[in-house]
Amino acid sequence: MARVLIITGILPVPAIEHKKTENDILLVTEEEVVSRYTDVSFKYFFVFPFANRLLARVSTKWRSYYELGKKSDFNLRGRNLFLLPVLLLPRRVFFRDLLIKVSLYMHRKRIRKEIQEYQPTVLHAQNSDVDAFIARELSRKYNIPYIITLRGLTDTPDRLVKLNLDKAKSLIAISSKQIVDGEKVCENNITFIPHGVKESFYAFKHDRKEITAPIRLITVSRLLKLKNIDLVIRGLKKVKYDYIFDIYGDGPEKESLEQLIKKFGLENKIHLQGFINNDDLPYKLRQYNLFIMPSYPESLGRVYFEAMASGLPIIACKNTGVDGIVTQGQEGFLIDHRSESEIVEILELIGRDSFILREMGDKAMELAQEFQWAKISQSYYDLYKL
C-alpha cells in the first residue's frame, strides 16, 4: 500500500479568496490515480502563511489566513486537509529555514499525531522551496522518503533549494523547462510527468467541422495580468478578416479588458463569456478553431493540452512550460509575451490560409495522445510504489 502525503499550498481552498479558483490539478491527479490503483491513498498538508490579529487588519487576504489558521483541519471536496500555517515573509529570505523550523515546532504535536495515524510511505512536496523543506524535515525526523515536483525553481536557486533537491528520493518535472532548470541545480534523476487530460476532451477527426468564416478563437483562463489577454485584443484590432474571440474565465482584469474591447469598438467580435466549468469545456472547445493564451510565466498550463486534445492548435509563449513540448508551427505557435507584432503576424497568417489550422489541429491531437491520464497515472504509481 502506498500512502502519499502531499505537502502543498496549491489547492482551491474557498476560505481564501485568491485561492478559491486555484488550479485543482492535485485533486484531479489523486482521483485519476486512485480510480486505477486501489492500493494508493492520499492525504494533504495545506501550507499557507501564518497571520496574527495585527496582520488580519491589513487586508482581506491576511484576514482569511488568520481565520483559517484558527482551525486544525478543513474539508475540501470530501478530503480532510491538515492545515499548516507557516511563518513566511513576502520575499525569499536566507533565514526562512529557521522560520519554517519554528513553525513546525509550534505544530509538532499535531504533526506527530497525523504522521502516526496516517503512516505515510512517501512525502510529495509540490514545490522546491518551502514545501520541499518541510518534506525534508519530516523525512529526517520520521524516516519517510520524499519526492519533489520542481515548481518554484529560479535562475539562481539558493543553498536551501539545492539541499532540498539533493536529498530527495525522486524529482518530477511537469515541463521540459523544469527539466532544464532542475539539471542546472542537482544531479538527481528527474522524471517527466506532465499534467494529464481527461478522456472527455479527446476528439476524433470525424467529429471536427470544416473551418469557415468567422474564424473562431478562444481563451480559457483566470483574467490576470500575466495571461496577457490584452495583447491578444490589441493584436486583433489590426485584423481585417471575420473572426470571433470568446474569453472564458473571471478575475481582476475583467473590467480592464471590457474597457479595452470597448475602446477599440470590438464588442461585436470579442466577448467576455464568464466562468466555465471544466466539465462543460470539452464540448465548448470543439466549437472553435484556435486556442490563444500567451500567459507568462506559466509552469505548464493544463488547458493547452485540453485544447489540443480537442483538435485546436494553440498560441502560447516562449520560455514557458509548454515550450519544448509544442513545436513551433506544428501543433501551435510560440511567441514572445511582450511582442504584439508576433501575435499580429500569426493572426494574419491564419487569415490568409485558415486551412493551416486544420492541419495543425490534427498534429495537436496526435501530440495530446501522450498526455492521457492512463499514462500519467502509471508514471505516478511507479514512483509512489518504489
Instruction: Return the CATH number at 119.
Output: 3.40.50.11010
Give the full edge-to-edge strand order of the sheet including 332-335: 270-274, 243-248, 215-220, 290-292, 314-317, 332-335
Cβ(228)–Cβ(372) below 8 Å:
no
CA distance 69 to 49: 9
pLDDT digits (tens, 9 = 90+) for 92-121: 788 899 999 999 999 999 999 999 999 999
Do 169 and 273 lie in one domain? The reply is no
Do 152 and 244 lie in one domain? The reply is no
Give the residues across from 6 on adjacent strands.
Answer: 44, 124
Surface-to-core class of residue 304, CB atoms within 10 Å of its CB (0-12 exposed, 13-18 middle, 19+ buried) = buried
Do 157 and 238 lie in one domain? The reply is no
Q: Is residue 111 part of a domain?
A: yes
Sign of CA dihedral 322, 126, 147, 80: negative
In 3D space, the residue among 101, 102, 111 whose CA is nearest the CA of residue 133 turns out to be 101
CATH number, domain with residue 297: 3.40.50.2000
Do 66 and 169 lie in one domain? The reply is yes
Do 342 and 285 lie in one domain? The reply is yes
If one counts every other C-beta atom within 10 angstroms of the C-beta of residue 214, the result is 12
Last residue of a domain, one of 193, 208, 238: 193
Q: Is residue 209 part of a domain?
A: yes
Do 136 and 9 lie in one domain? The reply is yes
Q: Is residue 378 part of a domain?
A: no
Cβ(128)–Cβ(157) below 8 Å:
yes
Q: Which of 87-96, 114-123, 127-136, 254-263 has the lowest mean pLDDT?
A: 87-96
> Virtual CA dihedral for 93, 97, 103, 108, nearest 10 degrees?
170
Label residues 278-301 b or e (16+ Cβ within 10 Å = b). eeebbebbbebbbbbbbbbebbbb
Calculate mean pLDDT across residues 322-332: 93
Q: Copy the grid coordinates of residue 326.
A: 509544442
What pLDDT score was predicted for residue 284?
A: 94
Q: Cell 485584423 appears where?
A: 239
What pLDDT score was predicted for residue 269?
A: 97
Calculate mean pLDDT across residues 133-149: 98
Domain that holds residue 244: 199-370
Q: Is residue 379 part of a domain?
A: no
Calculate mean pLDDT across residues 13-36: 90
DSSP code for 289: S
Do 108 and 10 lie in one domain? The reply is yes
Q: Which of 13-22, 140-149, 189-198 has the lowest mean pLDDT?
A: 13-22
pLDDT at 182 over 80: yes
Calculate mean pLDDT across residues 255-272: 97
pLDDT at 259 over 90: yes
Question: What residue type is 104 in one-letter code?
Answer: L
Do 187 and 59 lie in one domain? The reply is yes
What pLDDT score was predicted for residue 91?
A: 76
Q: Is residue 385 part of a domain?
A: no
Q: Which helix (H) or strand (E) holds 30?
A: helix 25-36
Do 252 and 132 lie in one domain? The reply is no
User: Which of helix, strand or coil describes residue 244?
Assistant: strand
- Say which residues have a Cβ less than 8 Å from residue 292's Cβ, sequence separation at least 6: 217, 218, 219, 232, 245, 314, 315
Do 188 and 203 lie in one domain? The reply is no
Q: Is residue 339 part of a domain?
A: yes
Calculate mean pLDDT across residues 276-292: 93
Q: Is residue 384 part of a domain?
A: no
Do 153 and 244 lie in one domain? The reply is no
3-state helix, strand and coil shares in percent for the chain, rounded to the nearest 5: 45, 20, 35
Q: Is residue 377 part of a domain?
A: no
Calculate mean pLDDT across residues 183-212: 85
The answer, yes or no, to whether the previous bond of 214 is cis (omega within 30 of 0) is yes
pLDDT digits (tens, 9 = 90+) for 205-246: 656 667 888 999 999 999 999 999 999 999 999 999 999 999
Last residue of a domain, one of 174, 193, 212: 193
CA distance 381 to 172: 13
Q: Copy the grid coordinates of residue 250.
A: 473571471
DSSP string, 168-188: -SEEEESSHHHHHHHHHH--S
How much of the chain exceeds pLDDT 70, in percent?
98
Last residue of a domain, one of 193, 227, 262: 193
Do 58 and 169 lie in one domain? The reply is yes
Cβ(61)–Cβ(16) below 8 Å:
yes
Alpha-carbon distances of 100 from 72, 117, 129, 147, rounded to whole Å: 18, 23, 11, 19
The total domain count for the chain is 2
- Say which residues have a Cβ less than 8 Å from residue 260's Cβ, sequence separation at least 6: 230, 233, 234
What pLDDT score was predicted for residue 23?
A: 83
CA distance 296 to 231: 12
CA distance 378 to 288: 32
